[in-house]
Amino acid sequence: MVSRVIPVEDFDLVIFGATGDLAHRKILPGLFRRFVAGQIPETSRIIGAARTEQDDEAFRAEAARAIVEFAGVKKNDPRLAQFVELLGYTAIDARGEGGWNELKGRMREGAVHAFYFSVAPALFGDIAERLAGHGIADAQSRIVVEKPFGRDLASARALNAMLAQHFDEHQIYRIDHYLGKETVQNLMAVRFANVLFEPLWNAQYVDHVQITVAETVGVAGRGSYYDKSGAIRDMVQNHMMQLLCLIAMEPPYHFDPDAVRDEKLKVIRALEPLEPGDIVRGQYQADGKEPGYLEAAENPDSRTESYVAMKVRISNWRWQGTPFYLRTGKKLRARTSEIAITFKEPPHSIFDDTGAPKANELVIRLQPNEGMNLKVMIKEPGPGGMRLVQVPLDMSFADALGAEGADMPDAYERLIMDVIRGNQTLFMRGDEVEAAWAWTDPIINAWEDSKRRPEPYDPGSSGPEEALRLMHRDNRRWREIRS
């Protein structure tokens, strides 16, 4: 398969927070890989901006170290030396005046200008104001903002309103890195580029949907952030909600930013409020070797959930009566993200001597081992009657696509290139983020008003027992968590 790398336009990208963790782990390595792939013009400039006083050379050395560590490239790789030539650095005081004129002097006329806010949300306003005030950003510039985008509806609205003072919606790229994952985009390809699935993709044929994002890591190292957030704010309001939307939405009329986002928004607006019995929260315990959640978060009284499972209903014609079960958690048995669509059983079995056919199931594995698995019924070979057996039609994208499939770009690579291309399809619109908070706010508030504690679960398990009951009472079972 021939790789189709289309170079983007010449650009100046400013990374605020360039000395931070996200820049080191994701943004700089992602840009490096796109450079190596030939997508970034050699005239482009990447300007680090942060509080640390340092010069271009020191930042280049810092970036090279990060890229060696996180992109798995050798220190003496000649492409690394070429890439860091694109980098420059300006020390910036986000809340003062230092550095802004210098930054303005670095921006080239005629290039696409993008500003990546890889900083705490509390600084978004200061940076936006100074970019506009110093005439550094104009009506053609783009800004990229990271999650968390607010911590409730009120704060998300305030953030949107503040950004709107300086930028139009078409200039604002709100990142949800799940949308940049190759297999997440594949959800749209599977649904809307095949005729096989879509006619069955509704409550008449789908019994239920399970969306699982399981992680093996705990919260150690970021406990103070996580403890104020919890799984609902950290994962459900954004990543899980996006997955749910892509599975449940109507076909957009075109693969166009607003057409796609309009359809996602309709799904979020059709979510029914959760009933108290439809949600289970969990907190992982210590396991003798590693601390439990409470120690990791350094908050012995914390009621913050490191696991959540919920039964979600979508009130519209397509999905009335088909529940979507969502679960996500830290310190679980395996790292895996998948979506499983369980179809209904055939309405009538003609094979009366060998048991009823089992329901078909389509599993889309998002990570790791990206691929698809469709369970179908066939006849067991041999004489002795019509014995039925369910077998998987299993496809690994890596195997199916050869070398290109094995080399899945990281979500950030794709998303940053989309910013330069000016394509907002895989970014969240302001109204989408607000609608997602409008649905999660009452869930969070009801918990804060209650005196309940999360259910304990063992690290390396599948989550709390209580979550199993959420399914059992509907005569259903969670799929096993395994990678």
Contact footprint for ligand BG6 (CB under 6 A)? 147, 215, 234
In the complex, what is the shortest distance from the CB of residue 467 to ligand BG6, in angstroms, rounded to a whole number? 19
Asked if residue 147 belongs to a known ligand binding site, the reply is yes
Instruction: Clarify whether 472 is annotated catalytic.
Output: no
> Phi and psi for 280 in degrees, rounded to 5?
-130, 130
Q: For the CA atoms of the chain, what is the radius of gyration?
A: 24
Distance CA 299, CA 304 (A): 10
**DSSP H helices in 171-222:** 182-192
Structure tokens at 354: 């060998």
Cis-peptide, bond into residue 291, ω within 30° of zero: no
Asked if residue 215 belongs to a known ligand binding site, the reply is yes
In the complex, what is the shortest distance from the CB of residue 140 to ligand BG6, in angstroms, rounded to a whole number? 29
Distance CA 345, CA 163 (A): 50
Going by their DSSP bridges, the two strands 206-214 and 142-145 should be labelled as unpaired
- 22/435 with CB nearer ligand BG6: 22
For the chain, how many residues are written? Answer: 483
What phi-psi label fits residue 482: left (phi over 0), alpha (psi between -120 and 50 degrees) or beta? beta
Asked if residue 75 belongs to a known ligand binding site, the reply is no
- 24/147 with CB nearer ligand BG6: 147
Going by their DSSP bridges, the two strands 45-50 and 142-145 should be labelled as unpaired
Asked if residue 234 belongs to a known ligand binding site, the reply is yes
Nearest 5 degrees, angle CA 436-CA 437-CA 441? 130
Q: Please, what is the angle between helix 411-421 and helix 28-36, to 10°?
A: 80
Residue number, nearest CB to ligand BG6: 234
Greatest pairwise CA separation for the chain in angstroms: 84
Ranges of beta strands (E only) in 156-220 are: 172-174, 206-214
- 90/210 with CB nearer ligand BG6: 210
Per-residue three-class SS string for 367-396: ECCCEEEEEEEEECCCCCCCCEEEEEEEEE
Q: Cα 256 from chain centroid?
A: 19
- 167/284 with CB nearer ligand BG6: 284
In the complex, what is the shortest distance from the CB of residue 314 to ligand BG6, in angstroms, rounded to a whole number? 24
In the complex, what is the shortest distance from the CB of residue 283 to ligand BG6, in angstroms, rounded to a whole number? 15
- 57/290 with CB nearer ligand BG6: 290
In the complex, what is the shortest distance from the CB of residue 176 to ligand BG6, in angstroms, rounded to a whole number? 8
In the complex, what is the shortest distance from the CB of residue 220 to ligand BG6, in angstroms, rounded to a whole number? 12
In the complex, what is the shortest distance from the CB of residue 215 to ligand BG6, in angstroms, rounded to a whole number? 5
Distance CA 327, CA 306 (A): 11
- 166/181 with CB nearer ligand BG6: 181
Structure tokens at 457: 């679960």
Asked if residue 177 belongs to a known ligand binding site, the reply is yes
> Phi and psi for 77 in degrees, rounded to 5?
-60, 125
- 337/461 with CB nearer ligand BG6: 337
Alpha carbon distances (Å) from 146 to 131, 155, 181: 17, 15, 16
In the complex, what is the shortest distance from the CB of residue 482 to ligand BG6, in angstroms, rounded to a whole number? 16
Alpha carbon distances (Å) from 110 to 49, 90, 176, 191: 21, 21, 29, 39
Asked if residue 432 belongs to a known ligand binding site, the reply is no
Contact between residue 60 and residue 91 where contact means Cβ atoms under 8 Å apart: no
- 171/212 with CB nearer ligand BG6: 212
Helix (H) or strand (E) holding 8: none
Catalytic residue among 166, 239, 348, 472: 239
- Extract the annotated binding site for substrate: 177, 181, 215, 234, 330
Give catalytic residues, as residue numbers.
239
